[in-house]
Chains A and B, each alone.
Chain A
């Protein structure tokens, strides 16, 4: 097969469960694609691929943290997808991906999805179970932008992330800085404004969305990958675009997430609009109060 090849490194540590924050560093897998990997990309998506001689690099990157209560026996080994495994205090275990290219549908993306497919015994709950203590952090990056700049762009369209994972807004580990603001503008539980347990955290090199729930299947990982591609692409390349246009772009993905239940999807988008209003203005509408302000401590923000 032509083009970029994703292979294991042979580093034994990548196939072992290490203690917290002791796993090997992730490799950057968004470099080194060839022309055959991106040749069929439509022009509007080719702008998200940078060329260096005969090699290509994705402008956007993504990384996943897969938290599980147990890992399937005999399945802890090095995978092309993961930089390593570590113990996680909140849930049990965590498998962290390398820095992946974040791409539109293409031959290159097929290869990224193939890595997910090969790691199904870690990702799929039927093999490696998870529960509500587990999360599914997603970190995004954009070439030429630091975390602060990227956060300022994606916050304009992140209401959908809140809507999809609204039940996690009661989780202490991911509910702060509800407005996705910079340090001086943060609101919501003000005594904790400088902590890391934010909905979306500026990591310096990118933005870590801590709100998404646990990964239960390879397909759910694919759908989130596709959703975050649209989010980053729209936020970076079409910052003045309308919410309606963005919602239209992501509707097929959300429909797939909800097994084509258009009634439920309409509810999700209605919530997304309310959450986006909250992010933009700090105002909390009645339909989302129970998720963001269950104890009415921010009733001054109610509308």
Chain B
């Protein structure tokens, strides 16, 4: 059984005593834990497949062809409304789309790293969030290697902080579609990394509270 904590040789020997093994159910626990790990692996595999499908659906909604079809059928939907037709919360939807857009080679690298870690007895998180974080790190390395400076949300904000003019309007919203942050400076400049649809959802929420 892989153990997460370091044991002295005497302690390991104690645990390997048949009587102790039976009492502590170590074999059964190990078997079930392996099943859980396999199930997580399988679930992650299904999630990767799901992500590719969701990206196709997302792309259709945003495509010219998709927009024309919606118009032909007389349907007007915001992005938020479209997302609500899926059986997950918007936060998971956005993560799944991000995963679906990660290059296959990066996904393979992530899975390879997970397999290596598992073989070494380490705990591994095969999840959407972990893959996104891993992919982000890989992209940073690639960009650094190519000599380009990666424009991240953090660096953008840092650069802007350095030159920030007087802010005359701010909007901050923790919504179902993700966090929204909008700032308007006195020179009229709009600062945000959110999509227009997300900002409109935030404004709609504010208006509903004022109504």
Contacts and interface: CB of A to CB of B under 8 A. Distances in A.
A53 B204 CA distance: 17
Contact of A110 (B74, B204, B207): B74
B194 to A, nearest CB: 16
B78 interface: yes
| Size bracket of the B interface | 10 to 19
A39 to B, nearest CB: 5
A113 interface: yes
B75 A113 contact: yes
Query: Which secondary structure dominates where chain A touches chain B?
Result: helix
A106 interface: yes
Nearest to A107: B76
B203 interface: yes
Contacts of B120: none
A36 B203 CA distance: 11
Contacts, number: 36
| Size bracket of the A interface | 10 to 19
A105 B81 CA distance: 15
Interface string B46-66: 000000000000000000000
Interface in A1-52: 2, 34-36, 39-40
Interface in B147-183: none
B207 A39 contact: yes
A34 B72 contact: no
B74 A256 contact: no
A208 B75 CA distance: 27
B211 interface: yes
A105 B200 CA distance: 16
A185 interface: no
B208 interface: yes
B158 to A, nearest CB: 34
Given A34-B211, A40-B200, A110-B76, 12 more contacts: A35-B204, A39-B203, A39-B204, A39-B207, A105-B76, A107-B76, A110-B74, A110-B75, A113-B74, A116-B74, A219-B72, A256-B71
Interface of B: 71-76, 78, 200, 203-204, 207-208, 211
